[in-house]
A and B are shown apart, each in its own frame.
Chain A
């Protein structure tokens, strides 16, 4: 019924609960995080730049192009001016750009006012030096502006000199870290994605491991306990399926137990219903013997009695076999002294063999032999074999019952009957031997039967002593 309700769920609902869609969501958010992270990166880069720009604004030496324009304008304005005027103008400019060096050269090539005074400058500028100066100004570390005074080129020139360091923008320094920020953010995004994936799969793994341990640790009845289902995704459905499987197993086991009980009751009832009339027959046959009967009549009654006894044992074997083959025969092994047990067991059979004129060949050791078996089972096995000898090997008039202590011990039962393939008075008694071998197998004992026309030898020994 669980399956049916699950099937009726709407598609989107199922989709939402699916592990696959959860994971797809995770991947998708990781992909979306990259474009969303760009504005963030932009902001991270933009902020320091803006701050640097602000700082640059306060630096008058920063903009070389502007300085050059101003310098040319100033120089142009001084066209035709007296050298004193030029000197005072230069002094005024120097107050504005105090960190720069300034001087001027007049039309005839003489160096005039220098602010500050420079030792290296010549008093008079010839053509060679001028060319050299211009060349150095273009490539050197000193930022140099040369502007002609006035519009003609006869009035000399103004020179502005400044260390290029002063021009370096703060922003240029910030630009170096831009790439690192982008990489860091990308790495962060990647790490976040990996972490989320790890958590996601670890959660799945934890639940799967829990389910696996629930499956492999059976409870008292041999069936695992159901697991608690707290989610309805694929694993949740797996857990539900597992629980319903357990339910079915439990139901199956209950049904099996009920059937077993029914069968046991049937067997018990059958046994009762068969044995009750047999008891009456036996009792009445016995009372007939006490009547005045002919020898033939007595013989017939003896035969009836023997057959009743035989049918009774057959019923018992049949029922025992049914119980045994369905594994319902109680088995409680313990360590027992086989010699002692067998001696008492054979003592019970001794009179029967004696009465049937058997030669009894006994050889039981004085020392104990311990086997780990259920004594009731071993008794039953010995009973069945001895019963078999008494019933089918009567013609041999010989029974050997030996126990040897070597090799973990061995029980040996031998007769001189016609062998298992031979003809016997009561056919169809094989079930007794089937029970014996089934029981021996379950007790981890091994039986070996050697049968010929000269008789049968049965060897019983622990399976691991071979």
Chain B
């Protein structure tokens, strides 16, 4: 499936370059020079990359209106302003935020995160070590045997949360609040216990885990 990406950028050089780069990475990019027509195009888009467009300055207005028209479409802001001012104004509606000059790899990585978070790319099974995780079917398959690994609902939710945040280190507070949907209480061991049981089911050697890594002092991470 091709991801349709709406890209709004007034600088021709950057616009041409980013369009080229993202097209090469497999996106179907629609590049607009201004935000005026953006509302007509947003219904056909899966993702929006929006430049703040100084000195026109209406990038925020465009973004807010886009978010109102299509709340399910994630917006990544590209900014050339001082970061804190932008963060205050921009992150209110934007889902992510990247300051120029950004590295093309970084933009691609951020878009990947947004895709996973909004389950845009949910069809794609994720391969992780000896596991193949198919989010759409809520199933985890051992690729060596082809057999499905039976997980409890909470275990599956935890694993899928890791998959949505691949390569990121997650603290147990973040995991608890994302999976249980309640504020984390100081000293709660629930997450540790669940991860120990999860590891016993998915790790080849639960005493030396390779799928769910422990980052001592911070939390856990699943890398691809």
User: Of A312, A330, A363, which contacts B101 at CB under 8 A?
Assistant: A312
Complex Cα–Cα for A311 and B100 (A): 11
Q: Which of B114-122, B140-148, B213-221 is found at the contact surface with chain A?
A: B213-221
Answer whether residue A284 sits at the interface, using C-beta atoms and an 8 A cutoff.
yes
Q: List 23 A-B contacts (CB under 8 A).
A: A268-B81, A268-B85, A275-B99, A275-B101, A276-B14, A280-B17, A282-B101, A282-B102, A282-B103, A283-B14, A283-B17, A283-B18, A284-B17, A287-B21, A305-B103, A323-B84, A330-B84, A347-B168, A347-B169, A351-B167, A351-B169, A362-B218, A376-B84
- Residue pair A268, B217 in contact (C-beta under 8 Å): no
Contact with A along B205-224 (1 / 0, CB 8 A): 00000000001111100000
With an 8 Å Cβ cutoff, the count of chain B residues facing the other chain is 38
| Interchain nearest-CB distance for A308 vs B (Å) | 5
Within 8 A of B (CB), among A317-361: 319-320, 323, 329-330, 340, 343-344, 346-348, 350-351
| Interchain nearest-CB distance for B31 vs A (Å) | 14
| Interchain nearest-CB distance for A383 vs B (Å) | 10
- Residue pair B171, A347 in contact (C-beta under 8 Å): yes
- Residue pair A350, B80 in contact (C-beta under 8 Å): no
Q: Which residues of A contact B11 (CB under 8 A)?
A: 276, 279-280
With an 8 Å Cβ cutoff, the count of chain A residues facing the other chain is 45
Q: Which residues of B contact A319 (CB under 8 A)?
A: 82
Answer whether residue B32 sits at the interface, using C-beta atoms and an 8 A cutoff.
no
Within 8 A of A (CB), among B161-177: 167-171, 173-174
- Residue pair A380, B169 in contact (C-beta under 8 Å): no
Answer whether residue A366 sits at the interface, using C-beta atoms and an 8 A cutoff.
yes
User: Of A329, A362, A367, which contacts B217 at CB under 8 A?
Assistant: A362
The secondary structure that dominates the A interface is helix
What is the interface of chain B, defined by CB distance below 8 A to chain A? Answer: 11, 13-14, 17-18, 20-21, 54-55, 80-85, 87-88, 99-105, 167-171, 173-174, 186-187, 215-219
7 other contacts beyond A344-B173, A376-B87, with CB at 8 A cut-off? A272-B80, A275-B99, A275-B100, A278-B101, A279-B80, A366-B186, A376-B84
Answer whether residue A269 sits at the interface, using C-beta atoms and an 8 A cutoff.
yes
Q: Which residues of B contact A366 (CB under 8 A)?
A: 186-187
Give the residue name and chain of the B residue nearest to A290 (CB).
B24
- Residue pair B218, A346 in contact (C-beta under 8 Å): yes
| Interchain nearest-CB distance for A8 vs B (Å) | 50
Answer whether residue A298 sits at the interface, using C-beta atoms and an 8 A cutoff.
no
